[in-house]
A and B are shown apart, each in its own frame.
Chain A
Amino acid sequence: MVRRAGAADADEAGVPGLDLSNCSAPMRQGHAEGHRSPTEQRVRRRHGRSDGAPADADQGMEVPPEQQTPEGFAVYLKSEMDKWGAIIRESGIKAQ
């Protein structure tokens, strides 16, 4: 799916800050940040396109460089937890 040319994003549509995109990262058991395991390294190598660009680069959905490192993604994950934790508590949504 490729973003339609000329399609407005949320800012242009009059709702600044609305962001429903999300990043996926391989995660494994362990308590400290550290090197990528061989499995994680293979996932990252194989996800890119043949020209070396990220697979989503032509869809306006490329992963920001700062989130491509374990340390950067940990910061992003915490910010997502803080943001969505507040929204979910406010909504009262629970699994039933």
Chain B
Amino acid sequence: MSASWSSRCGPRSASRSWSRNNGGAGGVTGINRVARAAPDGYTISVGPWGTHVVNAFVYSTPYDLAAGFRNGGAAAKRAALVHRAEKPAAEGLQGVIAYLKENSGKVTAASVGAGGSSAVCGYYFGKATAPAPRWCLSRRRTGVAGYRPRQRRMMCDLAANSLAQVRAGTIKAMR
């Protein structure tokens, strides 16, 4: 997202903008870089719910986003996707919710890493839709690339991460 914004800002602006993908620790490393930058407004952090909300509770972050950062107001809204490998009995969100209720306690969920937004999203989705999802956390960096039918039945992920696989037909999006 920040790369997309940077490409829109840069060529038309007197001052150039660029995006630096500073990965590590689920985004904590990148945000910490902004936290340690000069407070001149030229180094900003852009990230989704996982890096800016979930990490505050999953990691021991060296910064406090709520108290130590200024925000520029929301500029984009994004959806999470729920995937399921098997052919659904009914299409769409209604289909996957009906499937979870019928198979309570049997559905296995995968996530990108052990403690990221995907795991939290899967937990919340399972809790809201069926009383007892069974969890099988995938290895780090596996994500949708390691999603295999019959091994992991569903997964919750950001749309931006999964769009290529959805378009290729590798996974089925329930949204």
Residues of A within 8 A of B (CB): 1, 3-4, 7-10, 12-15, 17-18, 20-34, 36-44, 46-47, 54-56, 61-64, 67-70, 72-74, 76-78, 80-81, 84-85, 87-89, 91, 93-96
Contact = CB atoms under 8 A, between A and B. Distances in A.
B121 interface: yes
Contact of A46 (B9, B40, B72): B9
Contacts of A32: 70
Contact of A27 (B65, B113, B128): B65
B120 A33 contact: no
Interface string B38-51: 11111111111100
Contacts of A72: 73-74
A63 B77 CA distance: 6
A22 B44 contact: no
Contacts of B120: 84, 87-88, 91, 93
Contacts of A93: 58, 114-115, 119-120, 123
Contacts of B72: 25-28, 36-37, 40-41, 43-44, 70, 73
B145 interface: no
Given A8-B92, A93-B123, A20 B79 contact: yes
Contact of A22 (B40, B42, B78, B175): B78
B17 interface: yes
Contacts, number: 234
A26 B69 CA distance: 10
B46 A39 contact: no
Contact of A95 (B48, B78, B115, B121): B115
Contacts of A27: 34, 44-46, 52, 65, 69-72
Given A77-B53, A95-B59, 11 more contacts: A24-B74, A25-B71, A25-B75, A29-B43, A30-B70, A38-B15, A39-B9, A54-B76, A55-B76, A63-B74, A93-B120
Contacts of B42: 37-39
Contacts of A44: 72-73, 75
Nearest to B123: A91
B169 interface: no
A40 B67 CA distance: 19
Contact of A21 (B45, B47, B78): B78
B44 A61 contact: no
Contact of A30 (B39, B52, B73, B127): B39
A29 B68 CA distance: 6
